[in-house]
Amino acid sequence: PLVTSKEMFQKAYEGGYAVGAFNVNNMEIIQGIVEAGKEENAPLILQVSAGARKYAKPVYLRKLVEAAIEDTGLPIVLHLDHGENFEICKACVDDGFTSVMIDGSKHPFEENIAITKQVVEYAHERGVVVEAELGKLAGIEDNVKVTEREATFTDPDQAVEFVERTGVDSLAVAIGTSHGAYKFKGEPKLDFERLEKITKMLPGFPLVLHGASTVLPEFVESCNKYGGSIPGAKGVPEEMLKKAAGMGVCKINIDTDLRLAMTASVRKYLAENPSEFDPRKYLGAGRDAIKEMVRHKIKNVLGCNGK
């Protein structure tokens, strides 16, 4: 069924695991993710960015997610990722989403609170849950001054005040991750001390990790082997994700690993089958790669299989 993430996160918090939040943009990506969820009997969060709504049109994504639910019977959350303002959050609540993110992290603290409260009020009135963000996603290099790190990562004391004053259901925290395939110049590092402190100060409150793709080496190598060029791509080691899942993190966002799985497989298929021009062949190869990658994440990283 189409569900909110409320119960999902409570179970994940108590169980010491996390639920995967996967970005969706077309049929094959959705099918790959949902097939994996079905095989592992796992709850799923399918999330839609503003860019996805522009690319596919909202009605297509909504109907594809409805189809996924009808096809599998899985508990699935339809979530707006990185809602930039009240209007898009309202549109998605009115469009049947069960969860929305209002990303006010680029605003000063008080403005972030104000816009988040506005979305919480509108969403809660209609049984929809809200994710907000405090702190700025940015991989911080070792040689960066501590003051800069303080300015970007989530401040635990502010997090407590933010949650109390907004009534938000989950909070995206900045502890050193960043979006995309180039997360770290040097060794991957997350601020687990900070995560530990936030978890302790907000016991039982679901935290969200953005920028959590591993940038799986097998796909980077395959992309580069078959005509791509993404040298130096680096993501979050899976051990770190497992550690975060065991703490207050209940939602782990994955988009880049989906893009790499699809792209590596399409490149490989086309390179190995030069005479083939049936989209079902190469998009099907991409779908299969996504399914296997998501199954791996569910079983070996998130721990939400069979939950």
CB-nearer residue toward Na ion: 8 or 100:
8
Smallest distance, ligand TD4 to C-beta of residue 35, A:
20
CB-nearer residue toward ligand TD4: 106 or 281:
106
Q: Which does 253 bind (CB under 5 to 8 A by kind): Na ion, ligand TD4, Ca ion, none?
A: ligand TD4
Smallest distance, Ca ion to C-beta of residue 55, A:
20
- Which residues would be at the binding site for Ca ion (CB under 5 A)? 103, 105, 133
CB-nearer residue toward ligand TD4: 75 or 235:
235
Q: Is 257 a catalytic residue?
A: no
Window 57-76: residues binding Na ion (CB under 5 A): none
- Which residues would be at the binding site for ligand TD4 (CB under 6 A)? 23, 49, 51-52, 81-82, 179-180, 210-213, 253-256
- Catalytic residue chosen out of the listed positions 71, 81, 191, 257: 81
Smallest distance, ligand TD4 to C-beta of residue 128, A:
18
Smallest distance, ligand TD4 to C-beta of residue 19, A:
14
> How far, in Å, CA of 305 to CA of 285, rounded?
24
Catalytic positions, please?
A: 81
